[in-house]
Amino acid sequence: MGDVSNEVRRFETLIEINALINSQYRDVTVLLSRIMESAERLIGSDASSLLLVDTGTNQLYFEIALGAKGDDVKKYTLEMGEGIAGWVAQNGRSLVVNDTENDPRHFSLIGEDIGYKTRNLIAVPLRAKDEVIGVLEVINKSDKNSFDDEDLRFLEVLADQASIAIQNAREYHQITRELDTLKSSTDVGLSSTSNEIIWKSPVTGSVLDQADKIALAESPVLILGESGTGKELLAERLHSASHRNGRPLVKVMLLITIPAHPNHRGILIDPRISYLVLLASLILSTVGLGSRYQRQYRSSLQSRAQLHHKNGKKSLL
């Protein structure tokens, strides 16, 4: 009855871990720790460890180490082929060793340094696409018993789940890095090209030369023109060439529609909204409105400027 109950617990644990792997579980270290804890509890061992291959040095390091000496063992590394874990990583084969003292592959120096004696263990490889990426171990069977084939099979299933979790985490981080790199390169590309204007006309070239000179001035700049003539592109050119190019570009979009001037539009490039009233006087006098209409438009624009300034907005549209 006890064996049946243990088999049921093992099966339920596999289902639980599989559900976590297939969820949006991002903390792979916690997930791997849960896998190792399950191995210790259901196989019945005093300690366990999960070692990963460092592709840069081709050494094994302890990613997870549970048990009384778990924290102590994490400072050590193994060469490929060194110790039983190194042998499993190098050969890609599982081992059940119930008498480590008489096994020539056993590396006892770490145990001697930390004061922990290994009597027996199981070590199985972690694989990702036919490549060994690490080793999973359970150490010292409880009650001084020996590990058996059932323990080995269960640990190999856990090792497969751990491998999937590790691979998922690595692919997730790789995709995240690639997306960040792509976003950075896209931002750089946009910032470097957003103010570029391609032209052939000498007149356009002359306008751009004037814009570069005007950009150095401290005064607000008013750009007038009909819709579709490139006012915003010129505004970006002015801002990019100015000493304020490290700060946000503020474009105050203005539209004044009267019978004689149906398409008269303008853009004010200046970080100070308070210049709107001065601009209103300039525009209204330029388009030839009477003094009564000038006062009405000026009052309307001033009210909108004050309202947007109060709300912390940077555009009047």
Residues 41, 164 within the same domain: yes
Is 285 contained in some domain? yes
Rounded average pLDDT over 101-123:
95
- b vs e for 123-141, b when ≥16 Cβ sit within 10 Å of the residue's Cβ? bbbbeeeeebbbbbbbbbb
Residues 50, 145 within the same domain: yes
- How far is 62 from 215, CA to CA, in rounded Å? 60
Residues 35, 167 within the same domain: yes
Is 245 contained in some domain? yes
Rounded average pLDDT over 213-229:
77
Strands 95-97, 265-269: pairing is unpaired
The domain boundary, picked from 146, 181, 216, lies at 181
Residues 92, 126 within the same domain: yes
Residues 23, 66 within the same domain: yes
Q: Indicate if the pLDDT at residue 237 is higher than 90.
A: no
Give the Cβ contact number of residue 142 at 10 Å.
Answer: 11
Strands 95-97, 77-79: pairing is unpaired
pLDDT in tens, 177-208: 888 887 776 655 555 555 566 766 787 778 88
- Segments forming the whole domain that contains residue 38: 2-181
The domain boundary, picked from 123, 150, 181, lies at 181
Per-residue pLDDT band at 97 (split at 50, 70, 90): very high
Strands 221-225, 251-255: pairing is unpaired
| Proportion of the chain above pLDDT 70, given as a percent | 71
Q: How many domains does the chain have?
A: 2
- How far is 195 from 170, CA to CA, in rounded Å? 39
In contact, 33 and 66? CB cutoff 8 Å: yes
Q: Indicate if the pLDDT at residue 24 is higher than 70.
A: no
Determine the pLDDT at residue 2.
56
SS (H, E, C) 150-170: HHHHHHHHHHHHHHHHHHHHH
Residues 168, 225 within the same domain: no
The SS3 call for residue 176 is helix
pLDDT in tens, 86-95: 999 999 999 9
Determine the pLDDT at residue 280.
42
Indicate yes or no: pTM above 0.85.
Answer: no
Domain harbouring 44, CATH code: 3.30.450.40
Task: Report which residue type is found at 300.
Answer: S
Q: Higher-confidence residue: 313 or 82?
A: 82
Determine the pLDDT at residue 228.
73
Is 317 contained in some domain? no
Is 269 contained in some domain? yes
Q: Indicate if the pLDDT at residue 51 is higher than 70.
A: yes
Q: Higher-confidence residue: 235 or 48?
A: 48
The domain boundary, picked from 150, 181, 212, lies at 181
Per-residue pLDDT band at 18 (split at 50, 70, 90): confident
Residues 207, 154 within the same domain: no
Q: Higher-confidence residue: 170 or 93?
A: 93
Residues 171, 211 within the same domain: no
Poorest-confidence range of 251-255, 280-284, 301-305? 280-284
Residues 177, 206 within the same domain: no
Is 194 contained in some domain? no
In contact, 59 and 77? CB cutoff 8 Å: yes
Q: Higher-confidence residue: 120 or 223?
A: 120
- Which of 4-18, 32-46, 195-209, 237-251 shows the highest mean pLDDT? 32-46
- How far is 273 from 251, CA to CA, in rounded Å? 10
Residues 99, 37 within the same domain: yes
Residues 172, 282 within the same domain: no
Q: Provide the token pair at 262.
A: 């149906």
Determine the pLDDT at residue 212.
83
- Which of 73-77, 141-145, 205-209, 267-271 shows the highest mean pLDDT? 73-77
Mean pLDDT of the chain: 78
In contact, 106 and 84? CB cutoff 8 Å: yes
Is 261 contained in some domain? yes
Is 77 contained in some domain? yes
Residues 163, 258 within the same domain: no
SS (H, E, C) 203-269: HHHHHHHHHHHHCCCCCCEEEEECCCCCHHHHHHHHHHHCCCCCCCCCEEEEECCECCECCCEEEEE
* Bridge partners of residue 231, in order along the sequence: none
Is 231 contained in some domain? yes
